[in-house]
Amino acid sequence: MTGSATSECLPAELIVGYVEGTLAVTERATVESHTDGCTTCRVALSELAAGSLAQRSEVTDSAAPVDEPVVAPGDAIDRYLVLYRIGRGGMATVYAAYDPELDRKIALKILHGRGRRDHERLRREARTLAALTHPNVVAVFDVGEHDSLLFLAMELVEGQTLRDWLAKSPRTWRELAPVFVGAAHALAAAHAKGIVHRDVK
């Protein structure tokens, strides 16, 4: 076994079972032995474990809106393995996920609405964003439907949220200006392509 992805990676069910503590002793030993030599499975396991802990510790967002799909770490949305929830907006919830085909982490945006018009709107937005190249706009990789859920697979940008950054300490205007100017440039680029973002935060 090498230190990279192999064609003999563990099934997602085994990794999820390991994190949830539902495997038999022999299966746990198999997972531990395999992840010693397989970077892909080791990363998937650690990300899923981190996401599971983070989701259990969430208190403020425990009550999801009625129309928000229930998605948990370990769930498969199309080919993507959900790792943890990043945040929720008025229209969608965004999760960190793993793409086994390309061996990378992505952001998976799942639409709250299930109506045909909601789906058509997000598909149009995805096509427009996919044609948009800007340093302050995440790349769109894929759009699809899985068990009536519409999802958008996008570039994952690691780091803290703007809310967390602002809460850490008082910020001077010299610190704030570049951040908001960068966001404004991204919005302007989107507007130029006909996208109007109604949920800026």
DSSP 136: T
Would the pLDDT of 185 be above 50? yes
Element (H, E) at 14: helix 12-20
> Distance between alpha carbon 163 and the CA centroid of its chain, in Å?
18
pLDDT for the residue 53: 45
Exposed, middle or buried, 183 (CB in 10 Å: 0-12/13-18/19+)? Answer: middle
Provide the token pair at 50: 């981190």
Is residue 103 part of the annotated active site? The answer reads no
pLDDT digits (tens, 9 = 90+) for 94-124: 999 999 999 999 999 998 876 677 777 778 8
- Three-state SS for 144? strand
Output the pLDDT for position 81: 96
Higher pLDDT, 18 or 137: 137
Average model confidence (pLDDT) across the chain? 78
Tell me what pLDDT residue 93 has. 92
> What are 153's strand-pairing partners?
108, 142
Report pTM: 0.61
**56, pLDDT greater than 50:** no
Residue ranges with strand state E in 29-103 = 76-77, 80-88, 92-99
Quote the pLDDT of residue 200: 58
Specify the 3-state DSSP secondary structure of 132.
coil
Contact between 163 and 89 (Cβ < 8 Å): no
pLDDT in tens, 7-41: 588 887 787 777 777 778 788 888 888 888 888 77
Q: Which of 36, 61, 147, 199 is catalytic?
A: 199
180 has pLDDT over 80: no
Spell out the domains of the chain, with CATH numbers in brackets. 12-57 (no CATH), 76-158 (3.30.200.20)
